[in-house]
């Protein structure tokens, strides 16, 4: 991991871009802190870090204000990274299914999501290795948002993840429901109730499936991108309860 830029944001937060091999990433740390701080990994949809930056930096400001470091990396196949094999065909299949107004078949969900999960999760784990080796960053670690299947797999296989905020807003292959049953870390699941692009019943079934003894579902109005401000604050309070 090597840093490629550093700037101080107006509220004192230090923002550093880095490369982890071929993978670009961003790290935000609080302007002032006494000793190592917990870390929140900021997941995001596969739209590219540049496009997601405004929302990511807003979430990072919340995290650093709460005394955490926050970090994110580019997803495989997004931004300037090479496309994942089969991704183009999978997206075309999704478009056809949506244009036909029908349900999205299991094969399309698998093709869209599973290769991304397989490729992304080891990268987030490698990023975690590198980030936790930095002075000033300790544990525990939370994971927040993004492609929910990536969050499920990471919560399942990565023991350093102590708590996760998941956003029920994307297609979930049946295989990931099975993994969800074995997740045990505390979860805070956000659902946009009136999100037309979302399968509400599938999101409720997924919440039911999680094996975690502490799990909260918070459903709000406002459409896919209209998560209300107070929902972000509730998610921040969840992390404060579990990471401090």
Q: Residue numbers of the site for its own copies (CB under 8 A)? A: 193, 204, 207-208, 213-221, 228, 230-231, 233-234, 237-238, 241
Taking the complex as a whole, how short is the minimal distance between the CB of residue 241 and its own copies, in angstroms? Answer: 6
CA 9/CA 3 separation, integer angstroms: 17
Minimum CB separation from its own copies for residue 46, in Å?
Answer: 28
- What is the nearest approach in angstroms of its own copies to the Cβ of residue 209? 12
Question: CB of 77 within 8 A of CB of 83?
Answer: yes
Closer to its own copies by Cβ: residue 73 or 168:
168
The residue whose two tokens read 């929140």 is: 40
Residue 196 C-beta: closest distance to its own copies, Å:
14
User: Which residue, 36 or 211, has its beta carbon nearer to its own copies?
Assistant: 211
CB of 47 to its own copies, least distance (A): 27
Cβ closer to its own copies: 9 or 234?
Answer: 234
Q: How far is the CB of 204 from its own copies (least distance, A)?
A: 7
Closer CB to its own copies, 118 or 233, in the complex: 233
Give the C-alpha separation, 2 to 38, whole Å: 21
Distance (Å, whole) CA 39 – CA 33: 13
Of 2 and 213, which CB lies nearer to its own copies in the complex structure? 213
CB of 107 to its own copies, least distance (A): 29
Query: Would you say 132 or 219 has its CB closer to its own copies?
Result: 219
3-state secondary structure the chain: CEEEEEEECCCCCEEEEEEECCEEEEEEECCCCCCCEEEEEEECCCCCHHHHHHHHHHHHHHHHHCCCEEEEECCCCCCCCCCCCCHHHHHHHHHHHHHCCCCCCHHHHHHHHHHHHHHHHHHHHHHHHHHHCCCCEEEEEEEEECCHHHHHHHHHHCCCEEEEEEEECCCCCHHHHHHHHCCCCCEEEEEECCCCCCCHHHHHHHHHHCCCCCEEEEEECCCCCCCCHHHHHHHHHHHHHHHC
Choice between 157 and 219, CB closer to its own copies: 219
Cross-strand partners of 216: 188
């Amino acid at each position: 991991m090597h840093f490629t830029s550093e700037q101080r944001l107006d509220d004192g937060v230090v923002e550093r871009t880095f490369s982890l091999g071929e993978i670009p990433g961003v790290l935000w740390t609080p302007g002032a802190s006494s000793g190592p701080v917990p870390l929140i990994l900021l997941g995001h949809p596969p739209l590219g870090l540049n496009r997601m930056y405004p929302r990511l930096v807003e979430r990072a400001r919340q995290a650093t204000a709460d005394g955490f470091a926050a970090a994110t990396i580019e997803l495989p196949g997004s931004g300037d990274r090479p496309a994942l094999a089969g991704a183009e065909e999978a997206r075309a299949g999704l478009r056809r299914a949506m244009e036909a107004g029908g349900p999205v078949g299991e094969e399309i969900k698998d093709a869209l999501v599973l290769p991304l999960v397989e490729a992304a999760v080891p990268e987030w784990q490698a990023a975690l290795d590198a980030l936790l080796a930095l002075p000033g960053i300790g544990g525990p670690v939370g994971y927040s948002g993004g492609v929910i299947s990536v969050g499920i797999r990471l919560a399942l296989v990565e023991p350093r993840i102590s708590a996760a905020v998941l956003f029920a807003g994307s297609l979930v292959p049946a295989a990931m429901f099975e993994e969800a049953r074995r997740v045990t870390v505390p979860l805070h699941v956000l659902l946009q109730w009136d999100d037309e692009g979302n399968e509400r019943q599938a999101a409720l079934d997924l919440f039911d499936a999680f094996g975690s003894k502490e799990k909260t579902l918070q459903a709000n109005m406002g459409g896919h991108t209209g998560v209300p401000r107070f929902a972000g604050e509730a998610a921040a309070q969840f992390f404060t309860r579990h990471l401090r």
